[in-house]
Amino acid sequence: MKKILIIGAGTAGTMMAVHLSRKLNRKEWIITILDKDETHYYQPGYLFIPFGIYTKKDVIRKGAKYIPAGIEYLLAEAGEIATDQNRVKLTDGREIAYDILIIATGTDIHPEETPGMAENGWRENIFDFYTADGACALGEKMSGFKGGKVAIHVAEMPIKCPVAPLEIAFMADWYFTKKGIRKDIQIDFVTPLSGAFSKPATAKVMGHLMDERGINLVADFGTERVERGKLISYDNRTVEYDLLITTPTNMGDALMARSNMGDDLNFVPTDKHTLQAKAKDNIFALGDATNLPSSKAGSVVHFQTEILTKNIRSYIQGKELKASFDGHSNCFIESGYGKAFLIDFNYDLDPVEGTYPLPFLGPFSLLKETRLNHIGKLAMKFVYWNILLRGIPVPGISSKMGRAGKIISEASGVTSKI
Amino acid sequence: MATKQIAGKIVSVSEEGYLTDPSQWTREVAQAIAVEEGITLTDAHWKVIDFLKKDFAATGTLASMRRINKTGGIPTKDLYELFPDGPLKKAARIAGLPKPTSCV
């Protein structure tokens, strides 16, 4: 029997386990998945917790429930990957040999990477919303907040779900308006990027919306340190806050540093098309754990699992890895007031206007703020737990980005030569 | 794709003025681009440019400010002083490397 080992049972690892359990000959292959945390988190749901729309219950389930029968599920932590021996050493002393390794260890926040952030008010008036606990703590703070300066902050790129800080800003505007205290609150959006978002067409649309909502954009802000109530940039600018909602530095798992196979942020250098790790040909990586120039987001993982399943089958058969990931990403951008945007893009093509997933029919509108997009965003919770995580194909949603029904022009930032 | 004359050479540049053919880069071209950016190159600037070029040749990607700090040994604060208002964008342009793409 040969062995496939998946490290990480989050969105990426679980979906790979589901796909592989169907596609591999189970008389030849043993599939093992391990994770150090028995809980599976619906991470897109974190956004709704601070505003009292979701509670923690909406976003957590037992991870084992989503692992298909016949797959070995280990609650254990990987201590080191010994690539030369094709073995993973666990922190409890056990060792697991593998023929193929899939790394799906995700990314986590690291407030300690910004001097002063962890020391000068963490979870007092500095909060993250990238963990279930952080989102809950922020919710408590928000409910008692009476007025003052709120800074929505991004420490360093890349980050998981790059639209989430924008969503938090729009939602905060809506939340404080609904409470009747918006006039007593200043909202600053502080980012290391030169605009509201990294993709120009979207940055423009989001920039306009920020103006309309009275959210101040503080761009090109490279955060050097955090003092009590103050963000300070490398070029000596200061943003004062009463409440800091931050996206701390994102890093891959420290396992990569221990195994000497990560980049400066512990992300795994990976071929952006085949998803094969640069370290060795029997190692593959997907999702937030990689250094790919695609979004760190669930939709991306969903598209990557299809590609990676094909390439692993090719690898097993000794064939060329022909399936190629195009960087396809789509995400809803919740904008408050019961509305949302939807954007769809890949490595080469920026988000444009049009309809999704069906050309001209939609039902969702791209790069436009609609109520239906918001309903789509809320429906994602059901779709995630019951359809995506179980590997059930969604009609009309393809891993390759479609172009039909989209308004594609030179101005949209087309750089592809497809 | 546009071309322009700089330091007595015709070079290909992108819309935003980044060299598109690395083989056209010379130290004189770098000097001239630096002048356009309002920067007089000193040894400290060259240390950054040399690291970026060496690292790009080895990895195929432009180093991040974190990498310039951790691997290149140049503190981020210094980088902001050497190349004010968007250090990585300016340093990359002077080094004849592609514009930094912030990950999405």
Q: Which of A264, A295, A299 to mutate to test the interface with B (most CBs of B within 10 A)?
A: A264
Please state the pTM of the whole predicted model: 0.93
Q: Is A272 helix (H, G, I), strand (E, B) or coil?
A: coil
Contacts of B66 in chain A (CB under 8 A): 156, 264-265
Parse chain B into domains and list their residue ranges: 2-94
The two three-digit tokens of residue A7, written as one number: 């490290």
Q: Look up B103 and say whether it is catalytic.
A: yes
Chain A residues whose C-beta is within 8 A of a chain B C-beta are 156-158, 162, 192-194, 197-199, 220, 222, 224, 234-235, 263-265, 293-295, 329, 345
Number of residues that this document lists for chain B: 104
Count CB pairs under 8 A between chains A and B. Answer: 46
β-bridge partners, A32:
A5, A72
The predicted pLDDT at position B59 comes to 87
The predicted pLDDT at position A417 comes to 31
Contact assessment for residue A314 and residue A282, using Cβ atoms and an 8 Å cutoff: no
Partner-chain contact B103 A224, CB within 8 Å: no
pLDDT tens series, chain A, 418 aa: 999 999 999 999 999 999 999 999 999 999 999 999 999 999 999 999 999 999 999 999 999 999 999 999 999 999 999 999 999 999 999 999 999 999 999 999 999 999 999 999 999 999 999 999 999 999 999 999 999 999 999 999 999 999 999 999 999 999 999 999 999 999 999 999 988 988 888 899 999 999 999 999 999 999 999 999 999 999 999 999 999 999 999 999 999 999 999 999 999 999 999 999 999 999 999 999 999 999 999 999 999 999 999 999 999 999 999 999 999 999 999 999 999 999 999 998 889 899 988 888 888 999 999 999 999 999 999 999 999 999 998 877 888 888 888 888 644 443 333 2
The predicted pLDDT at position B102 comes to 61
The predicted pLDDT at position A418 comes to 29
Contact assessment for residue A191 and residue A165, using Cβ atoms and an 8 Å cutoff: yes
| Beta strands A238-240 and A230-233, pairing class | antiparallel
Domains with residue ranges and CATH for chain A: 2-106+253-316 (3.50.50.60), 110-248 (3.50.50.60), 329-412 (no CATH)
Place of tokens 């040969």: A2
| pLDDT per position as a tens digit, B47-100 | 999 999 999 999 888 999 999 999 999 999 999 999 998 899 999 999 999 988
Residue B8: which pLDDT band, with cuts at 50, 70 and 90? Answer: confident
The predicted pLDDT at position A409 comes to 64
Alpha-carbon span A135 to A43, nearest angstrom: 10
The predicted pLDDT at position A396 comes to 78
Contact assessment for residue A147 and residue A65, using Cβ atoms and an 8 Å cutoff: no
| Catalytic member of B1, B10, B103, B104 | B103
Nearest alpha-carbon partner for A245 in A56, A55, A111: A111
ipTM: 0.86
The predicted pLDDT at position A411 comes to 44
The predicted pLDDT at position A258 comes to 98
